[in-house]
Amino acid sequence: MKSERIVEAELFSAAKPVTVTDLQTASGLDTRTIRAALKKLMDEYDEEDRAIEIAKMGPRYAMQVKKEFRESASRLADLKVPKDVLKTASLIAYYQPVLQSKMFDLVGNKVYDHVKELVELGLVKTKPKRKSIELTTTKHFIETFGLDARSREEVKACLEERLSKLSGKT
């Protein structure tokens, strides 16, 4: 039981999603014990009526607010990404790799300011491509938005799944 509480404390204290290796380095516990503790904690948080969950994001784990409580929790949290910039980020994530010139066609000239802000936030990376710039999301994007994805294709699949759930609720 003690190992679950150690892993729980480490997840709570971490400022970002962490890997099993990160947890092993911090705790000194072996990977099998950590994986078992993570599974038990995920089940524990899922079964109980809590606003917090242990989420798996690719190879990383994080303690975060459950989706149904994010709106309430966000009232006290600072919004770091304005809605219009967030829309641009979601388009980049969906169409990636995408040229900035294509994004200009979708978003207009504000795309240049949005891309600059997204790069500064570490959510998008750029690479010169032909006479434009190729845009892709970063690992930080996946962590920030709590996606269980490791590749561009998985990011797109996660976005499609969330969109289908949203459109099914209307």
pLDDT given at position 6:
93
Q: Is the pLDDT of residue 125 over 50?
A: yes
> How far is the CA of 47 from the CAs of 37, 44, 52, 63, in angstroms?
15, 5, 11, 15
Q: Rounded distance, CA 142 to CA 83, Å? A: 18
Flag whether 22 is in a domain: yes
pLDDT given at position 170:
45
Q: Rounded distance, CA 47 to CA 42, Å? A: 9
Q: Are residues 89 and 170 in the same domain?
A: yes
Flag whether 98 is in a domain: yes
Q: Rounded distance, CA 63 to CA 52, Å? A: 7
Q: Are residues 47 and 105 in the same domain?
A: no
pLDDT given at position 75:
59
pLDDT given at position 50:
85
Asked if 150 and 64 touch (Cβ cutoff 8 Å), the reply is no
Question: For residues 141 and 37, which has the higher predicted lDDT (pLDDT)?
Answer: 37
Q: Are residues 92 and 141 in the same domain?
A: yes
Q: Are residues 82 and 131 in the same domain?
A: yes
The predicted model gives 34-43 an average pLDDT of 94
Q: Are residues 106 and 27 in the same domain?
A: no
Asked if 60 and 19 touch (Cβ cutoff 8 Å), the reply is yes
Q: Are residues 58 and 90 in the same domain?
A: no
Helix (H, G, I), strand (E, B) or coil at 21: helix
Q: Is the pLDDT of residue 123 over 70?
A: yes
- Looking up residue 130, the CATH number of its domain turns out to be 1.10.10.10
Asked if 55 and 146 touch (Cβ cutoff 8 Å), the reply is yes
Q: Is the pLDDT of residue 115 over 60?
A: yes
Flag whether 169 is in a domain: yes
| Domain residue limits at 6 | 2-67
Domain count, the chain: 2
Query: Is the whole-model pTM more than 0.75?
Result: no
Q: Please write the tens of the pLDDT for every residue from 52-96.
A: 899 898 899 998 888 787 766 665 565 467 788 888 998 999 899
Q: Rounded distance, CA 32 to CA 20, Å? A: 9
Flag whether 40 is in a domain: yes
Q: Are residues 87 and 167 in the same domain?
A: yes
Percent of residues in the chain assigned helix, strand, coil, to nearest 5: 60, 15, 25
The predicted model gives 4-32 an average pLDDT of 92
Q: Where are the beta strands (DSSP E) in the chain?
A: 18-19, 52-57, 60-65, 98-99, 124-129, 132-137
Q: Are residues 115 and 154 in the same domain?
A: yes
Q: Of the candidates 34, 67, 100, which is a domain's last residue?
A: 67
